[in-house]
Amino acid sequence: MQANFSKELEARLVRYVEIDTQSDESSPSEPSTAIQLDLLRLLRDELIGLGVSDVSLTDYGTVLATIPANPANSQAPTIAFLGHVDTAPAFNATGVKAIVHHQYNGDPIVLPDDPSQVLDPDALPYLKARIGDDIITASGTTLLGGDDKAGVAIIIALAGHLLNNPTIPHGAVRLCFTPDEEIGRGVHPRLPADLGAAVAYTLDGAERGEFVYESFSADKAVVKVTGVSTHPGAAKGKMVNALNLMAKILDSLPQHTRTPETTDERQGFIHAYKVDGTAAQAELHFILRDFERDGLAAHGDLIRAICTAIQIGEPRAHIECTITPQYRNMRYWLENDMRPVDLAKQAIEQAGLSPFTRPIRGGTDGSRLTEQGVPTPNLFTGMQNIHGPLEWISVQDMAKATEVCVNLVQLWAQEK
């Protein structure tokens, strides 16, 4: 089955990644960038061309479609597969030039548009393990965008395979392509109802064989500092510089713990990732991450306490801290019914792989869907080194992921 998928997946991924779909956190629109609609419309049209039913592009920028159940499996639960079209704002995503390294020979891969960017198999054990595979990279000056256009390509390949092989038993299968996952806005409030699925899977994971049912819990914090502005030539005793107060807030946070660069495994963090402002007013943006609710709350409490202390020390300023929930660890809900997880493990085993799971130091649309009543574990696609110029993926990993999805629809067809 794997050989049947590889050429299609390669062609689809190369075509999709060359369409710029970067999301923008600062934009209030749905989706956050109009360029995401370029790929969403293409996917809508491709699904219609394949003969998929009920294809639509919603007003909030999500493509939905259905592969109807076989008549004999009409009572099986409806399952859904999701991929997100946007790429991360963390690195340049304009002008992606995908390069396919067929039958990778194990040598370092030098990316031609920036020869300083090198994929070294001695430093990347997973790349060394993929010798003989077809490896797709970008050219060195952009990310690739396999996160998550690999997932999108896998889902389209799954759809075509099911439609071309009507004897494969399956219940109703819903297909879903979302925008803005990278900025935490992929699951619109109407999506769970519009999806209409009892269970779902995101195709947004890494190494072959991986399945994920535990993610970070996440909040966003924005600290707004308003100082007192006056002409600097006559500022003595009058000016309160918002930038200086913002620096004090940063300096008061732990520098050797609770940051992304000092934590791993199950440790959470506070990550200051964006600064805007002037001496008059400044904003500081954080993401807060932890696997447990208490740990996440402690991160927020620490930022609030620091802001309060600095506010007391400079009463002429105004410091406002706003913490907004983003998503929660999907484990809290999935552990109540592990059937979606257990069947994912079984589907991976049927594909001849050794399944493994580990908590993901991030989140997917599945985190929010699970919280809203649609259990949604995450499955591997093969993507590696995401969000940067050294991103790469194995076509054969994508093919194995497609095989796992075919297995899953058959396993769910047996559930009534």
- In 51-144, alpha helices (H): 125-128
Do both 108 and 222 map to the same domain?
no
Is 54 catalytic? The answer is no
pLDDT at 155: 98
Identify the active-site residue in 180, 181, 210, 365.
Answer: 181
Phi, psi torsion values for 83, nearest 5 degrees: -140, 150
Do both 57 and 205 map to the same domain?
yes
Do both 21 and 11 map to the same domain?
yes
How many structural domains are present in the chain?
2
Q: Let me know if 376 is exposed, middle or buried by CB neighbors in 10 A (0-12, 13-18, 19+).
A: buried
| Domain edge (last residue) among 305, 326, 347 | 326
Do both 239 and 366 map to the same domain?
no
Q: Cα–Cα distance between 198 and 192 in angstroms, integer?
A: 10
- In 240-292, alpha helices (H): 242-252
- Using DSSP bridges, classify how beta strands 199-205 and 173-178 pair: parallel, antiparallel or unpaired: unpaired
Identify the active-site residue in 20, 86, 210, 391.
Answer: 86
**Long-range contact pairs involving 294-301 (C-beta distance under 8 Å, separation at least 24):** 295/268, 296/217, 296/218, 296/219, 296/268, 299/219, 299/258, 299/268, 299/269, 299/270, 300/219, 300/221
pLDDT at 53: 97
Model-wide pTM > 0.85: yes
| Domain edge (last residue) among 326, 356, 389 | 326
Do both 201 and 250 map to the same domain?
no
Do both 56 and 166 map to the same domain?
yes
Do both 339 and 306 map to the same domain?
no
Q: Cα–Cα distance between 181 and 173 in angstroms, integer?
A: 21
Q: Mean pLDDT in runs of 10 for the chain (416 residues)?
A: 79 98 94 98 98 97 97 95 96 96 98 98 97 98 97 98 96 98 92 97 96 94 96 93 96 90 94 95 96 96 97 96 94 94 98 95 89 96 96 98 98 92
Do both 316 and 353 map to the same domain?
no
Q: Cα–Cα distance between 147 and 85 in angstroms, integer?
A: 8
What domain range includes position 305?
Answer: 217-326
pLDDT at 6: 95
pLDDT at 25: 87
The CATH number linked to 320 is: 3.30.70.360
pLDDT at 257: 84
pLDDT at 317: 96
Indicate the angle between helix axes 395-413 and 2-17, nearest 10 degrees. Answer: 120
Do both 178 and 248 map to the same domain?
no
The CATH number linked to 146 is: 3.40.630.10
| Domain edge (last residue) among 326, 343, 358 | 326
pLDDT at 416: 76
Do both 156 and 293 map to the same domain?
no
Is 148 catalytic? The answer is no
pLDDT at 364: 77
Do both 264 and 368 map to the same domain?
no
Distance of CA 269 to the CA centre of its chain: 18
Do both 150 and 294 map to the same domain?
no
